[in-house]
Structure 1
Amino acid sequence: MFIKNTTLFGASLFSLPLLMTLSSCKSSSSSEKVLKNQAVSAFNRFKSVWNFKDFWKRGNTFDACLVFVDALQNQWPDDSEIIEIQKEVEDMLKENLEFFHSYDSGKLWADDFGWWGLMALNARKHLLKIGNIELANAYLKLSTDLCWEYKKKTAYDNSDEGFPVLHGCRNGDANGESKGVKNTVTNVLLFLLSSRIYRCLSEEGIANGDKYLDMAYKQWVWFDEWFNLKDFEYLKKLDAEGVLVQERPMAFIEGSTYIEKIHPPWAEGWIWSGDQGMLVASLTDMLAIADDLDAYLKRTNINPNFDSGTFKSKINNLIENLAKGIQNGLIANVDGIMREAPCYSSFGPEHGRDYLAGRGIMVRYLAQDEIKKHLDIDLTDNISKTFEAIWNTRDIATNQFKPEFTAIENDKLYIEQFTQLWGLADDVYQWNLDKMKEKNKNGVCQSIGLDFLGATIRSLKEE
């Protein structure tokens, strides 16, 4: 968040007669033409930076690509350039599957499998659309038999030793040599992966989905029990409407198993944008499968007193409060641009390279039609303003997006805003990516732009 917006398209990439930004387009047709040209250019740059060697980041960046390309296909299904992009993504998915199997799975971490499992489900949707059934089935198998099973067998805590909340998912390695911590990102990944696999199997009429429904419910219970423990503020209220979930539940009390401050280094008040989007997505899934869950819990006698009406009401209320928290806490009043919360744990040299993608992950989910209708807020203008900032600060020669795309004077005002709402903040304006390889950085930054551009394209359907 350090670069001033001074390059209003520079020497226009598209040779348009007038320099235009999205916000200055006078008609939906001109806006659509600009967006399509931007989309093709952004994807062409992604092709040159996507195949870097960093396991979880590559899975996540390609998930961004798949959701982005889905938005292109929905908007321009018969466009020859978009059809060509669909074919190119098919070839990239073949290469990605080989990349996944080139790794020793035992040395990977629980969250790695979450990112790849979610990407694999979107890969399946893409491949089914273009008729590659064999590769689509391979990606489903990757999501269920490899990613989900690893998380369940080695990361989920089946013991009765957790306090003050039982169970949950640790971010340990697949070999089981390191247990890791029960942070938010690892738990919400298992939550969302379980609900999304269940929905995928149900929609396709594939049997044996109960174990995924069961795990989604268990993860809901873990989050819900934490949220009910108000003293620990895992779900913390802002000094305005809304709540945000912190990046790790902590309980500094006698006997607590939630006191670990490392892996990665924790600091008080730490929140991450990616968690917010994935939690909202998980909760939206639970609304969609609530009736199935009701039947399952009563059939198995796990919770015969489960009331789906009360459950849906609670979920809806939680989604609305999280949406208000995102609107008030992660969007700057000064310019309407969506930001990462100013937490050193996210920006710092230890793990800045891991948390960089959060803004893209958040909007990737919030912009989905099914999720938007539950938010009770409209983020369309904020998303388009954020993409405009990303586009205007790109490297014009390559169309490479950058990690920082807002003005420092506005960042300072945002930090003041966040401090007032949250109670504390760090004076951070720039991502410390010294430990990140250049190609990896370019791939992640490009994926953030694809997430916001895809979300902006989806809004065209509403005009």
Structure 2
Amino acid sequence: MKRRSFVKTAGSFAVFFPCVKALGSIGLGEENHDDVDDLKMRCITAFNRFETIWEFNDFWRRGNTFDACLNFTDAAQQRWPDDTEIKSMQQKVNVMLEKNMAYFKSFDPSGFWADDFGWWGLMGLNARKHLLRTGYTELADKYRQLSSDLCWKQMKDHAYDFSTTAKPVPHGCSNGDAKGIHKGVKNTVTNVLFFLLSTRIYRLTLAEKIGDNEKYLETAYNQWIWFDSWFQLKQYEYLKKTTSGGALVQERPTAFFDGSGYTDITHPTWYKGWVWTGDQGMLLAALTDMLAIKNNIADWLAKNKKEADFNVKAFADKVNTYISLIAKGIKTTLISEKDNIIREAPLVANMGPEFGSDYLAGRGIMMRYLGTLNKRTTGIDFKNNIKETANAIWQTRDASNNQFKPEYTNVENDKLYIQQFKNQWGSADNMLKWDIEKTNLQQRLGVCQSIGLDALGATIRLM
């Protein structure tokens, strides 16, 4: 049977037999061939649907949703390296990456927001990994250049605050545009994207023995200092404690006093107590990277005669403390105690009509990175939560075309979760549904499908 014919048959199987065994019954630590085959079938079916809707026209969403696809297909390839249909999936992604490169080049980069380049930069690094594995070296090199020479440089040159005047914390990265028409604000998503992109590029240069890489290490360390400085200013609650003793990073640091550089409540509209799932996942990933390069940091500081009192153990202890706090915050505040399913913080800022379509992807982004972390790193086991979430996404899909939906939990449990979140965080909005009906349909479908790919990819990695 031809590969394409088999893939179509596999998709049809899931359409006509929607009651495939629930992932809740799959033991992720066990090797049950029937269960693994069911999971593989879901993966093929979910990808087939994504293949029909991914090519929409929206710059940042296109970058992020395809990063979800790359993380998912990488996990599938590692789990089933010799499977014919998984190999076919990898080849299809190569073609899609050629189209994405052409799409990126069709735009004037000066017209986009700084955080847009963070999403594309991270996607470009994963694209390189995929393309090198499948033998597309030339295109892989182009994606590395896209990540470092364009996306990272764009953020560094046009979004980073080189001045020392901002109070109470200098530097940081604003989400304005390269033309300088909109200055933007130093929100979390922009700063954590720049942080993570810097650590990931630096680690790639180490792995591939690429020189001239200290600028990435320096930027990663500067971003660490920015976050750490804010976290130590406990009166502003940028890293806000939860009732359980965990903590979550808010979506924007604010400090309202004369002379403060952090008073802007626009672009996007700020809401008090705003917290987003995507920020938590990316920050955990960046902090974990900092642990991996802690000795490189020590050597670089010594070489440049900076921070003579820097102590590797003290640094690692502080990073581990932040990781543990955020992981516990996620477990107790962003996951339902009732059904163990990962949810978005029930806030108008996340789920309302103004920016709901932007923050819709957060749950997938968080799972993308939780799937790469283990209990030993975070102190928390998220395996069952990932599994239950992936199963809920699958069970609530549109069985006629295998399209995943924005909501994948039941209303009664959602009501209980809103109260749980309020008890932990101190405030919540009565958001039972994403208010995104007026947004572009194809973009919305693409993002929803990417959340499912992230959940499936994380499930595979935690098997």
TM norm structure 1: 0.95
Deviation at 1:317, TM superposition (A): 1.1
Letter in structure 2 aligned against 1:52: F
1:319 to 320, 323, 330: 323
How do 1:161-200 and structure 2 match up within 5 A?
161-200=165-204
Match of 2:24 in 1: 23
Match of 1:119 in 2: 123
1:303 to 303, 307, 312: 307
Q: Contact 2:14–2:20 at 8 Å: present in 1 too?
A: no
Matched, 1:415 2:418: yes
Deviation at 1:24, TM superposition (A): 2.9
Q: Secondary structure at the match of 1:35?
A: helix
Q: Secondary structure at the match of 1:44?
A: helix
Q: Contact 2:18–2:399 at 8 Å: present in 1 too?
A: no
1:57 to 56, 61, 64: 61
2:376 to 357, 363, 373: 373
Letter in structure 2 aligned against 1:24: S
Q: Secondary structure at the match of 1:13?
A: helix
How do 1:357-396 and structure 2 match up within 5 A?
357-369=361-373, 372-396=375-399
How do 1:230-379 and structure 2 match up within 5 A?
230-369=234-373, 372-379=375-382
Measured in 1, the distance between the counterparts of 2:153 and 2:147 equals 9
Measured in 1, the distance between the counterparts of 2:41 and 2:359 equals 29
The structure whose RCO (Cα within 8 Å, separation 6+) is larger is 1
Measured in 2, the distance between the counterparts of 1:72 and 1:420 equals 38
Letter in structure 2 aligned against 1:110: A
Is there any run of 5+ residues in structure 2 with no aligned partner, and where? Answer: 1-11
2:431 to 411, 421, 428: 428
Q: Secondary structure at the match of 1:401?
A: coil
Match of 1:5 in 2: none
Deviation at 1:459, TM superposition (A): 2.0
Q: Contact 2:249–2:275 at 8 Å: present in 1 too?
A: yes
Letter in structure 1 aligned against 2:425: W
Match of 2:461 in 1: 458
Measured in 2, the distance between the counterparts of 1:65 and 1:18 equals 24
Measured in 1, the distance between the counterparts of 2:18 and 2:142 equals 47
Q: Contact 2:396–2:404 at 8 Å: present in 1 too?
A: yes
Measured in 1, the distance between the counterparts of 2:218 and 2:14 equals 51
Deviation at 1:25, TM superposition (A): 4.6
**Percent of aligned pairs sharing the same letter:** 54
Letter in structure 1 aligned against 2:422: T
Deviation at 1:394, TM superposition (A): 0.4
2:46 to 29, 42, 49: 42
Measured in 2, the distance between the counterparts of 1:386 and 1:295 equals 42
Measured in 2, the distance between the counterparts of 1:435 and 1:208 equals 47
Measured in 2, the distance between the counterparts of 1:435 and 1:290 equals 46
Deviations 1:410-458 (A, max 9, x none): 1110010011111111111111113421110010000000000111112
Measured in 2, the distance between the counterparts of 1:264 and 1:237 equals 24
Match of 2:8 in 1: none
How do 1:206-245 and structure 2 match up within 5 A?
206-245=210-249
Q: Secondary structure at the match of 1:317?
A: helix
- Cα distance, 1:25–1:203 mapped onto 2, change above 3 Å: closer
Match of 1:7 in 2: none
Deviations 1:20-66 (A, max 9, x none): 21223587212101100000000000000111000000000000000
Measured in 1, the distance between the counterparts of 2:151 and 2:171 equals 19
The number of residue pairs the alignment matches comes to 449
Deviations 1:97-145 (A, max 9, x none): 0000111111011000000000000000000101111000000000011
Measured in 1, the distance between the counterparts of 2:320 and 2:165 equals 31
Q: Contact 1:366–1:372 at 8 Å: present in 2 too?
A: no
Measured in 2, the distance between the counterparts of 1:18 and 1:183 equals 43
- Cα distance, 1:174–1:435 mapped onto 2, change above 3 Å: farther
Match of 1:3 in 2: none
Match of 1:201 in 2: 205
1:157 to 137, 144, 161: 161
Which 10-residue stretch deviates more, 295-304 or 55-64? 295-304
